[in-house]
Amino acid sequence: METGSYSISDLMLDSGVTFGTSGARGLVTAITDQVAYSYTFAFLQHLENSGQINTNRCVAVAGDLRSSTPRIIAAVCKAVIDHGLQVINCGYVPSPAIALYGLQQGIPTIMVTGSHIPDDRNGIKFNRPDGEILKKDEQAIRDQVIEIPEYLFNQQGFFTQEPDLPSVNKAAYDNYVKRYTDFFSPRCLEGLRIGLYEHSSVARESAAEVLAALGAEVIRLGYSDQFVPVDTEAIRPEDIALARDWANTHGLDSIVSTDGDGDRPLVSNEKGEWLRGDMAGMLCAYFLNADWVATPVSSNSAVERSGWFTGVSRTCIGSPYVVSAMQILLDEGRKGVVGYEANGGFLNADTLELGGKGLEPLPTRDALIVILSILNRTKNGALKVSDLCASAPARFTSSNRLKAFPVDLSQKRLAAFKSGDFKRDSRAIEQIFGDRFGEVESIDLTDGVRITFKGEDIIHLRPSGNAPELRCYTEADSEQWVQEMNRICLNLLEEWRVH
């Protein structure tokens, strides 16, 4: 049997499918069967080389509901089998559900998902037996050289013979549902009328089941059999309008949803106004009695201003950085360690206690824990979601992005603010933004460029790690002004395309 030798670093360069903030991402047309197979094979080879495959030699695989996912799952499963391992096909379940299953079984897991990005893109998220791969694992995967049979693929990189898939095992779905029905008090959501915005989220079934099991009246809304790119950091105008209309029409206490793979939450108040992800994450951490928080530099600074937590550790954007920061806190002997991202995805690094019950660690992004924690805190509707939000410091954030904005152009433009000479960089920033936001107070280069002005307004600019987009985050003391800030910034940044 003839085999071909493939360098993963070269394959990433040639295909454009590379690691972003969480997993490998790229255009569907670029994620050929050969690319998906090769990356999976390299991941497993890395785990074998580092002694991370246990004696039962199983790997669990799942995916989201975008149109390209079944084909990529088949390629992933074929790679697992050809590597001499057994596939557990968990079907279509949320990313945190497959990760939890892997942690419980002590096995690697693979999730085929592009998260919130459009349907013309997809991705593969790899988890070690102890949780998400970290940046050092990504580098190790890039460094792999693999040998695979030449006959498997045609010249276009697709299988010459379509592989068979194992039958679906529901254990990952069932365990995920049980995690929350066991932890929260029975009927704790009784009296609440909750709208579930289903769209194309792979979490829609598990969310509906858990909400109903805990006593909520669930009104299912907005089902779609076509993929909808719901981004919790850049909520579409149509989703803002839908939520307000649904809240008014159905008399809802809250509307809840997730992004495509169920690891980023959307939670609205009783008026159908969506909470920002970092506000939802902060409230979740507080309601779960967390002590130490790891969160990216883009998250609302209300987390420090609140005084609710013993300490806050700031990181680069991306769950691998949050996971690493949580591990450092654990290594220092901290307890009650959690993390959340500006998109609302929540992670718990050690067991959390609530009402005499423990919630086992899940150090990967999860949406459902945020939704349930906030709804549980309303005490069967005695409090409104807006009341809970009012308990936090009045600090507001907004975010959006310029689509189809090449990463190299973003980096080139931002380089003008990153010379390392504060006076020079401040002048460059003030030439563009100074007329509207005043003088620069400080510049944070942890991830992109985060600028604090002397009036305490904040602008944070960075290229997306998942798509050719330029992200803009703004923060201020006024909700109306922070949204206007974001609009102003995007208009100014739009000029970067042509100047």
Helices and strands: H and E segment counts in the chain: 16, 25
The active-site residue, picked from 15, 38, 68, 115, is 115
* Phi, psi of 309, rounded to the nearest 5 degrees: -125, 150
Which residues fall within 8 angstroms of residue 329, CB to CB, at 6 or more apart? 292, 294, 311, 313, 337, 349
**Around Cβ 336, how many Cβ atoms within 10 Å?**
20
Tokens of 195: 């709208």
Beta strands in 29-135 (DSSP E): 58-63, 86-92, 109-112, 121-128, 131-132
Query: Do the beta carbons of residue 55 and residue 106 sit within 8 Å?
Result: no
Provide the residue type at 436 as one letter. Answer: R
Q: What's the rounded Cα separation, in Å, for the pair 74 and 297?
A: 37
Query: Do the beta carbons of residue 31 and residue 38 sit within 8 Å?
Result: no
For residue 206, give the nearest of 155, 154, 153, 262 by alpha carbon: 262
Q: What's the rounded Cα separation, in Å, for the pair 446 and 298?
A: 10
Query: Do the beta carbons of residue 265 and residue 234 sit within 8 Å?
Result: no
* Phi, psi of 116, rounded to the nearest 5 degrees: -100, -5
Query: Do the beta carbons of residue 440 and residue 456 sit within 8 Å?
Result: no
Q: What's the rounded Cα separation, in Å, for the pair 336 and 334?
A: 7
Annotated active-site residue 201? The verdict is no
Tokens of 441: 């107070």
Tokens of 42: 């390299």
As a whole number of Å, the CA-based R_g of the chain is 22
Catalytic residues: 115
